[in-house]
Chains A and B, each alone.
Chain A
Amino acid sequence: MLYRLADAIPTIWLVLTLVFIAMRILPGDPAIAALGDGALPEQLAEFREKMGLNVPIWQQYFNFLIGTLTLDFGKSYMNGAPVLDLIARNLPYTIQLTVAAMILGTVIGIPFGVLAAVKRGKLPDSGMRIFSLVGYAVPDFYLGALFLIGFALNLRWFPINGAGSGFFDILHHLFLPALTLALVKAAFIGRLTRTSVLEVLGKDYVRTARAKGARENRVIYRHALRNALLPLATGMGLSLLATLSGSVAVELVFNRPGIGRLLIQSITERDYGVIQGGVVVFALMVVFVNLMMDLLYVVIDPRIRVK
């Protein structure tokens, strides 16, 4: 585990460096973004000095790396709030959304996939294929807007924006954005489940289970699905990472706080500290998810532990 963590350090450093360089290459002046295009030269100069933007690039890079090591990303150029505070306030919302979307996506996707595999070539299988195609093809921001118009604006079942407060209110606010991401996930997970289950349904141990007189549901869920989980777990890990990036658009459409929305806003405003802090968090989440997937493999398939 520690070895894997250490292994991630060069990756994170590379990501940080690329982000640092990309932000400096990108045209646009944080001082003008913060103070407006009508700001006077003296005001802009004062701002650059205050925010440490007037020092040489190498020094800015050095300050940034030292800051990252001490988890001090500085202050937002826009509102003066510490970047770490901004991230701490927004991160729980992104985690909520990602976890809820994954749960919903799995709950929808796996049974669909199993059903499609079992009923191969029949109506459920065709349905699954169409659902997958639509899921892959429809952008999540578009799907989100459709859900908003249908369920929030016309039917008024759900709130139109925000994240809510209190357990049930939070769930109420979370459902539509989570469903938006989940349907895309479900299409992917369903397709993957179908393929994996189909593969194991032809294995000897499945035939043996049937020959022993096991009920079909037991054969499928106990013997086939369990053995189909390993490739599925890999796919779900990738899917979780895609959900994280997908949360950016969904947070904007549903006007939910979150790291994605924070990042987009910061890129528009050239708020370097917040962008860099946000990317560090995303990079750490990717590393964390990968680590968790490695651990999950061991739980799913004891043979890996033995190896």
Chain B
Amino acid sequence: MNVNRREFLELAAAATALSVVGTGAARAASSADVVRIGIAANGPRTSDPNQTTQGSDNWATEQIYEQLVRPEDGDFATTPDKYVPTLATEWSASPDAKTWTFKLRQGVQFHKGYGEMTSDDVVFSFKRAITDGTNKTIMANVADVVAKGPYEVAVQLKSPDVNFLGTTGFSNNTSIVSKKAFDKIGAEKFMTDAVGTGPYELTRFDAEWGTAMKRHEGYWGQKAKIAGVECVYIADTTARTLALLSGDVDLIEAVRAPGWVDSMLQRDPTLQFDMTIPGSFNTLHINLTRKPFDNLKVRQAIMYAIDRQAVADALKPMGGFMAGLQPDFFPAGFKTADLPPELQYKYDPKKAKALLAEAGFPNGFDFDSNCSQREDYSSTMLIVQEQLRAVGLRMNLKIGDHTAYHADNRSDKNTLAMHSSSYPPIPTQLYFQQLSSKSEVKSDGKGGGNYSHYGTAMPGIDALLDKALMATDYKTYVDTCKQIELQVLRDLPLIGLSTLSFTVARNARLDMGYKVKSGYARWRFHRATKKA
């Protein structure tokens, strides 16, 4: 083909014009009738609440599904009496706390015309969670679920649970799904086309893009104010930040690293930040099987050497202080002043050095430890490293890939293992996962999250934990948990470093309709309003 200069120029001009089609019109920001959130992940894995393994998928499930009971929007129910009626209107527990009976709300409609929710759906949802759920632990105590007529359900437990509403009742896995829909479309399709009763119903599931929902017009409560919700997955931090600043999305999941909030405010001072307190519990396991960490004086030295308030302050405004393993407003949580003086562990590097000298290490010692490269882990552990160095504890920190880090921890390859996990106000969950001898880490990778070997390397809290779990009244439960807190502070197999809020940066034009105070890393948009 012969191309002369004129033809070449014409072709080039046409190609350029074609490429910039539409650039004259400013790109549309998200519509006033849609809440669009930028999620910090690559793509949704499932919309089935019983199968979620990626926390950020719960932004969608939170809009689509409901449980028998829920806490107030934007909060945790810190005691059982703070749960509010949702798909159940009233409930009661037997005196032995082993049978929980729920009266169901009548007239609740499932999405997509799947009819009214009845006890059959509740029984089905609970039983599915027991057999197929991703969190069988929370269902392990459920012996049976029985329908007592169309609008009443009894849950029978194997052992007492005074916290049943928190441990099991309000969970993704016990979201109520439509049995009729499940039977009709099958388990596989349900993964991406689930049917619930929540204020929004799923309209699109795209593994590359995200999920879209529209208002559930047959919702039993006050209908959502904004017609649609879109969860757009943007894993790259820069792309997600730019999407918020450009108005393409209304809110984004934050980067939980020091200085991030300030840097965002520099770019746009009108941005709002919603934070849950406590968010994640950042704990530090001390491996009791490694010398000299089996020596209590060394562990006490570590505790005095770490300025936990400074760690929390460095993560401001997301960081929070824990005197023990629970924030002070959680059940079993302590304020520093309420602890015995010897368990307050106020930052005291001189005392730390003295304790090390008493333990036979007047010049300190060197040791290796692993850390994840994820911002919240690495930033915290670098601060800890510096504070330990100041008293002579020279931690050679090896920072590596996050997935590999957890695999190494699970194979007992760490000395001081930081762990970040979120917990509801059910203290026994943390104790079981991180301190129980049943959860002891194993070198073959088949153990649990007790990386310190507490309960086997030295006597632990197993008996107290059993007592708390068998309690038939809430006061006994909380009192026993407080005893556990005190014992852990005495033995120091695990240190509460800080809490770290789940944070969302929000464009000021979007009003959530309530204040986000606490709760899991997801919240509902049904009360939100948005200016054009």
Give residues in A with beta carbon < 8 Å to B: 26-29, 32-38, 40-45, 78-81, 86, 89-90, 103-104, 107, 111, 145, 148-149, 152-153, 156-162, 168-169, 171-172, 174-175, 178-179, 217, 221-222, 252-255, 257, 261, 265, 268-270
Known: A29-B410, A86-B207, A104-B15. 10 other contacts (CB 8 A): A27-B408, A34-B53, A36-B55, A37-B406, A42-B136, A80-B46, A162-B209, A168-B21, A255-B236, A261-B42
Q: Which of A35, A169, A178, A265 contacts B53 (CB 8 A)?
A: A35
Complex: how many Å from CA A157 to CA B20? 9
Q: For chain A, what secondary structure do more than half of its interface residues adopt (helix, strand, loop), or is it mixed?
A: helix
Tell whether A28 pairs with B27 under 8 Å between CB atoms, given A35-B134, A160-B239.
no
Verify B21–A171 contact, CB threshold 8 A. Answer: yes
Given contacts A28-B404, A79-B45, A80-B191, A161 and B54 within 8 Å (CB-CB): no
Of all chain A residues, the one with the shortest Cβ separation from B420 is A37
Q: Provide the bound-state CA to CA distance between A28 and B411, in Å.
A: 10
A-B contact pairs, 9 of them (CB 8 A): A34-B53, A41-B446, A152-B246, A157-B20, A171-B19, A217-B5, A255-B239, A255-B243, A265-B42
B27 touching A38, Cβ below 8 Å: no
Are B246 and A43 in touch, CB under 8 angstroms? no
B419 at the interface (CB under 8 A from A): yes
B409 CB within 8 Å of chain A: yes
In the complex, which residue of chain B has the Cβ closest to the Cβ of A34?
Answer: B53
> Size of chain B's interface in residues, with CB distance under 8 A?
62
Is B340 close to A, CB under 8 A? no
Which residues of chain B are near A37, meaning CB under 8 Å?
Answer: 406, 409-410, 419, 421, 449
Q: Indicate whether B137 reaches chain A with its CB closer than 8 angstroms.
A: yes
Give the distance to chain A from B124, nearest Cβ to Cβ, in Å: 21
With A78-B54, A145-B238, A156-B26 in contact, do A33 and B209 touch (Cβ < 8 Å)? no
A167 closest partner in B (C-beta): B21
Partner of A253, one of B46, B236, B446: B236
Contact A27 B207, beta carbon cutoff 8 Å: no
Question: What 1/0 mask marks residues of chain B from 44 to 86 whose CB sits below 8 Å from any chain A CB?
Answer: 1110000001110000000000000000000000000000000
CB distance from B402 to the nearest CB of A (A): 8
Q: How far is the CB of A286 from chain B (nearest CB, A)?
A: 24
Roughly how many angstroms separate A265 CA and B419 CA in the complex, as a whole number? 23
Q: 8 Å CB contacts to A: which residues of B434-458?
A: 439, 442, 445-449
Question: Do A38 and B433 contact each other (CB < 8 Å), given the known contacts A27-B408, A152-B27, A160-B248?
Answer: yes
**Cβ-defined contact, B22 with A172, below 8 A:** yes
Quote the shortest CB–CB distance from B380 to chain A (angstroms).
16
Q: How far apart sit A172 and B28, CA to CA, in the bound complex (Å)?
A: 13
Q: How far is the CA of A33 from the CA of B407 in the complex (A)?
A: 9
When A161-B248, A175-B19, A255-B235 are in contact, do A90 and B208 touch as well, CB less than 8 Å?
Answer: yes
Cβ contacts under 8 Å, B12 to chain A:
107, 111
Contact of A171 among B8, B18, B245 (CB under 8 A): B18
* Cα(A274)–Cα(B208), bound, Å: 14
Q: Which residues of B contact A257 (CB under 8 A)?
A: 208-209
Chain B contacts for A253, CB-based, 8 A:
236, 238-239
- Tell me if B449 and A103 are in contact (CB < 8 A): no
Q: Is B185 an interface residue (CB 8 A)?
A: no
Shortest distance in angstroms between A209's beta carbon and chain B's nearest beta carbon?
15
A257 vs B209: C-alpha distance when bound (angstroms): 8
Q: How far is the CA of A35 from the CA of B407 in the complex (A)?
A: 12
**B234 CB-CB contact with A under 8 Å:** yes
Residue of A nearest to B135 (CB): A43
A157 touching B23, Cβ below 8 Å: yes
* Interface residue ranges of B217-253 to A (CB < 8 Å): 232, 234-236, 238-240, 242-243, 245-246, 248
Contact with A along B404-426 (1 / 0, CB 8 A): 10111110000000010100000
B160 an interface residue at 8 Å Cβ cutoff? no
The CA of A44 and the CA of B444, in the complex, are separated in Å by: 13
State whether A41 touches B42 (Cβ < 8 A): no
Ranked nearest first, the 6 interchain pairs of A and B with the lowest CB-CB distance are A27-B404, A28-B403, A257-B208, A79-B45, A265-B42, A157-B23
Which of chain A's residues has its CB closest to B236's CB?
A252
Q: Is the pair B242, A152 in contact by a Cβ cutoff of 8 Å?
A: yes
Inter-chain CA distance A104–B16, complex, in Å, is: 9
